[in-house]
Structure 1
């Protein structure tokens, strides 16, 4: 059986401010084999890692990510909202995270946050940067915007895609095959043992989110999922280590 992917949701977001370099670096220390993060675009076309479309919650600032330049965003404090010890943390660029994971055996799940804001040219830009860094085999692109993922697949057939969804879908594995997606990223309550098995038969992986409770983790492992997206990679790492003894 292939080793379960331990995918840190926004980095080690339970103990560090989400989507910061501190969170990404620390999750690797906690046993993560993958990192999930959210990608948006600045007004001057840079790709940055932040979940919300607005800056209020995690950067203590007014306005929208799309309306700020990269330099304007870099001046903001992206850590103090979590704890004053992280006051030096900034909103990272995608390239900063690439610098951390390149050369390491780490899966990188980039979620395109283009459901509310339609970032023109985002797919082309993200494919270009992935190719510039030679990370085509290390990255999986996910989104709730499935049309965007189809566009990514047409631009770069060699880069994996994953379909994010909240509610149960009918035969999601067939839908994934139709869209040439490599994986399904369902909300944890939309996963069934039968669908995981059917997905495996179609060559489609299942990576549910966001699973933090150890009992829920065990249930997902028993269902046969290939990876779990979690805020607590250390808890999942310990559990998988015990499970394989």
Structure 2
């Protein structure tokens, strides 16, 4: 079996609270070769890592991320909702994650969460951060907001982009090529072997999400995908290890 990217969805989110430093660090210990995380902006314009636009599910309080300063967000408990053992976990900044992975052979998939909330200047801020940390070769920017990815590509042609989508698209590889995207990030049920091959022929990778079942992982690997986004990087790492012996 060829090597594929093992991309930890929000870190090792099956066993750690998602999008926390504990989850990111643990994913690397479990064999991840990439980390996927969600980026939003605080009210004072800082890049923070959290999935939901609101705070109730993973940070134990009411309100929106966009309405809180970075100091307010950093004061919240981002781990107890998962298990009391993680009570010390906080909402990380993008800088903290960059510090963890810079210089390592780790792909960093940053999802811009700017579909529900239109974060003014988000693209410029992320690109500046990537360049400031010299992370251009490690980062891929993804979003369901494809107009935002086009903007990112215009601002920073050297940074890869990936199109997130849930439903099947007609000739998604042609669409990706038109938008100058480097990868397709489809929901796992929107993948076909023919589309994976056609995308690869145009130099476009396919990284489906979120795949936790080993049977589904193996089926997608056999379709020829270049990577898989998963909550359980250890399961995928073990599967690929067995099949490369």
Q: Which residue of 1 aligns with 2:155?
A: 155
Secondary structure, in 3 states, of the residue corresponding to 2:8? strand
Unaligned runs of 5+ in 1: none
Q: Which residue of 2 aligns with 1:127?
A: 127
Distance 2:82 2:10 in 1: 14
Q: CA deviation at 1:2?
A: 5.8
Q: Which residue of 2 aligns with 1:34?
A: 34
Q: Which residue of 2 aligns with 1:65?
A: 65
Q: Is 1:181 the equivalent of 2:181?
A: yes
Deviations 1:183-203 (A, max 9, x none): 000000000000000001111
Q: CA deviation at 1:103?
A: 1.2
8 Å CA contact retained: 1:173, 1:198: yes
Secondary structure, in 3 states, of the residue corresponding to 2:11? coil
Distance 1:151 1:18 in 2: 28
**Alignment RMSD (CA, Å):** 0.7
Q: Number of paired residues? A: 245
Distance 1:160 1:3 in 2: 20
Secondary structure, in 3 states, of the residue corresponding to 1:125? helix
Q: Is 1:12 the equivalent of 2:12?
A: yes
Give TM-score scaled by structure 2 length: 0.99
Distance 2:121 2:46 in 1: 11
Distance 2:82 2:137 in 1: 33
Deviations 1:168-190 (A, max 9, x none): 00000000000000000000000
8 Å CA contact retained: 1:199, 1:205: yes
Q: Is 1:198 the equivalent of 2:198?
A: yes
Distance 2:185 2:57 in 1: 25
Give TM-score scaled by structure 1 length: 0.99
Q: Which residue of 2 aligns with 1:140?
A: 140
Distance 1:233 1:184 in 2: 20
8 Å CA contact retained: 2:2, 2:244: no
Q: Structure 1 stretches (4+) deviating beyond 4 angstroms?
A: none
Q: CA deviation at 1:243?
A: 1.1
Secondary structure, in 3 states, of the residue corresponding to 1:38? strand
Q: Is 1:21 the equivalent of 2:21?
A: yes
Unaligned runs of 5+ in 2: none
